C-alpha cells in the first residue's frame, strides 16, 4: 500500500537440504512511524526474514519491498534509509570505540566531521562517553551493544531494525534504549522493527506484534488484541489464612475451576469476576471465611506468546 515502509507478499525462503522453508508464504505491511515487534521461537525464521528485508539474501519466491523498492535488485533505494543493529557486529577490538565509529562512517560514505556531533550526543545519552576512548576489547558486553546502536544511528534512518538490542544490558540500560526508540519514532517518524527475547519490551513499546513460527505468520496484531484473543484472566482472592485459602480452593474445584492456593491467596484461572464472585461470596459467608481482597490479573504477552507457539507446527 502507498506509504508502507515494508511490504511482503507470499515471501518464501528455502535453503538447500532443509526439510521445510525458513520463511513460508509470509505476507504483511508495516506503515511509517510504527514500532513492530517481531516474535518467534528459535528457528522460527526471524533472522531470515530480517536478512531478506535488508537485501542480504534473496527470496526463493514471493516479494518484499522496502520504501517500494526491491532490496536485492534496487539496493540503493531500499537500503539507504535502513539502520540495523544486529546481535553481534564486527568491531576492530584493537582500536578505540571512537575509531570504530569513524570507520563505520567512512564505510557508509559519511563525513565523520558532519556526523561526529550527533554520534557524541548519542553516546552521551547512552552513557558511553568515557567508553569511547577505550579499546573495543575493554568494553563490557552491554557497552558493545550500545556502541552498536550508535553505529546503526550515525544518521537517522527511516527504518531502524533492532535485533536483540538489550542483550547484555541491565534494567536501566534497557529502559534507556526504550526511551530513545520512542523519541526516534515520535520526533522523527522512524519506523522500527524490533526483535527481543525480553517480550515485556515489545508489550510496552510495539504498536503491533508479528508472531511467526516455523516460517509462517501466526498472528499480526496489537499486543492488547493478542492478550484478549489468546490470553486468560485470573481471579485472585485474598483471605485471612491458609486454611481459608484451602476452603476457597475447594469451592473452585467443586465448581470445576482450576485454582492454585499460596498461603492466604487463591488464584482461580479463567474466571470472570461478575460470574464467579456472587456464588463464591455466598459460599465463603456460609463457611465463615472472610474475603479480604479480590482482583483480576490478565496474562502477559509472554504467556500468550508461549501459548500461541507451543502447539504450532
CA dist., res. 193 & res. 210, Å (int):
10
CA dist., res. 147 & res. 102, Å (int):
12
For residues 242-260, average pLDDT? 89
Higher-confidence residue of 101 and 263: namely: 101
pLDDT (tens digit, 9 = 90+) per residue, 36-86?
999 999 889 999 999 999 999 999 999 999 999 999 999 999 988 999 887
Which SS3 state, helix, strand or coil, does residue 157 take? coil
Q: How many residues does the chain have?
A: 313
How much is the pLDDT for 271? 60
Does the pLDDT of residue 313 top 60, yes or no?
Answer: no
How much is the pLDDT for 267? 87
- Reported in sequence order, the residue ranges of 103-250 that DSSP labels E, i.e. its strands, are 159-163, 191-195, 208-213, 216-221, 233-239
Residues in Cβ contact with 22 at an 8 Å cutoff, skipping those fewer than 6 apart: 13, 14, 15, 45, 48, 215
Q: Cα 90 to the chain's mean position, in Å?
A: 24
For residues 127-133, average pLDDT? 92
For residues 142-157, average pLDDT? 89
- Bridge partners for 163 per DSSP: 195
How much is the pLDDT for 263? 81
Sorted by where each starts, the structural domains of the chain and their CATH numbers stand as 4-228 (3.40.50.300), 232-299 (3.30.70.2470)
Q: pTM higher than 0.95 for the full model? A: no
Higher-confidence residue of 159 and 300: namely: 159
Residues in Cβ contact with 213 at an 8 Å cutoff, skipping those fewer than 6 apart: 40, 41, 44, 308, 309, 312, 313
- Bridge partners for 13 per DSSP: 23
Does the pLDDT of residue 306 top 80, yes or no?
Answer: yes
Residues in Cβ contact with 146 at an 8 Å cutoff, skipping those fewer than 6 apart: 126, 127, 128, 169, 173, 177
How much is the pLDDT for 273? 63
Q: How confident is the model at residue 208 (pLDDT cuts 50, 70, 90)?
A: very high
The sign of the CA dihedral 104, 109, 111, 115 is: negative
Amino acid at each position: 500500500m502507498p506509504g508502507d515502509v515494508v511490504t511482503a507478499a507470499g515471501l518464501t525462503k528455502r535453503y538447500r537440504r532443509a526439510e521445510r522453508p525458513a520463511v513460508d508464504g509470509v505476507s504483511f505491511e508495516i506503515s511509517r512511524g510504527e514500532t513492530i515487534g517481531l516474535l518467534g521461537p528459535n528457528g522460527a525464521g526471524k533472522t531470515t526474514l530480517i536478512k531478506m528485508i535488508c537485501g542480504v539474501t534473496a527470496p526463493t519466491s514471493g516479494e518484499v519491498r522496502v520504501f517500494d523498492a526491491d532490496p536485492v535488485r534496487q539496493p540503493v533505494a531500499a537500503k539507504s534509509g535502513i539502520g540495523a543493529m544486529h546481535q553481534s557486529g564486527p568491531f576492530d577490538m584493537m582500536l578505540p570505540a571512537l575509531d570504530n565509529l569513524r570507520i563505520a562512517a567512512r564505510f557508509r560514505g559519511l563525513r565523520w566531521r558532519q556526523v561526529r556531533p550527533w554520534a557524541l550526543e548519542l553516546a552521551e545519552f547512552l552513557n558511553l562517553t568515557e567508553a569511547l576512548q577505550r579499546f573495543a576489547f575493554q568494553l563490557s558486553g552491554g557497552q558493545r551493544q550500545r556502541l552498536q546502536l550508535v553505529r546503526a544511528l550515525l544518521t537517522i534512518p527511516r527504518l531502524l531494525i533492532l535485533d536483540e538490542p538489550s542483550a547484555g544490558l541491565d534494567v536501566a540500560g534497557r529502559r534507556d534504549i526504550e526511551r530513545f526508540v520512542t523519541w526516534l519514532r515520535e520526533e522523527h517518524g522512524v519506523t522500527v522493527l524490533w526483535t527481543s527475547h525480553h517480550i515485556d519490551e515489545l508489550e510496552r513499546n510495539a504498536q503491533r506484534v508479528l508472531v511467526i513460527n516455523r516460517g509462517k505468520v501466526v498472528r499480526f496484531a496489537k499486543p492488547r488484541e493478542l492478550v484478549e484473543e489468546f490470553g486468560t484472566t485470573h481471579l485472585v482472592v485474598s483471605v485471612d489464612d491458609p486454611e481459608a485459602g484451602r476452603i476457597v480452593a475447594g469451592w473452585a474445584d467443586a465448581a470445576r475451576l482450576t485454582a492454585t492456593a499460596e498461603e492466604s491467596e487463591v488464584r482461580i484461572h479463567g474466571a470472570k469476576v461478575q460470574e464467579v464472585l456472587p456464588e463464591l461470596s455466598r459460599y465463603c459467608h456460609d463457611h465463615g471465611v472472610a474475603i479480604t481482597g479480590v482482583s483480576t490479573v490478565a496474562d502477559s504477552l509472554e504467556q500468550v506468546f508461549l501459548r500461541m507457539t507451543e502447539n504450532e507446527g
